[in-house]
Amino acid sequence: MNSYEYYMNKGRELEERKLYRRAAEQYNKAAFISSACQEGAAKKAAERCLIKSKIKITEGL
């Protein structure tokens, strides 16, 4: 298993445990060391985790 696969698998595991920000970090590491064709998948996964990790604060609490 190469480094790209390691970071993608680690990010997937963290995402399953709902640790989205940590998963995004792992996906970004994978994007940094990946070839051009693999970079898109890692960036999409990181973006998905960042969207999920946003905290919504309701007014009036």
Write down the pLDDT at residue 54: 76
Write down the pLDDT at residue 13: 95
pLDDT: is 9 or 36 the higher one? 9
The structure's pTM equals 0.76
Q: Which helix (H) or strand (E) holds 29?
A: helix 20-33
CA distances to 11, 44, 61 from 49, rounded to whole Å, are: 9, 9, 26
pLDDT tens, 13-57? Answer: 999 998 888 988 998 888 888 777 677 888 888 888 878 887 655
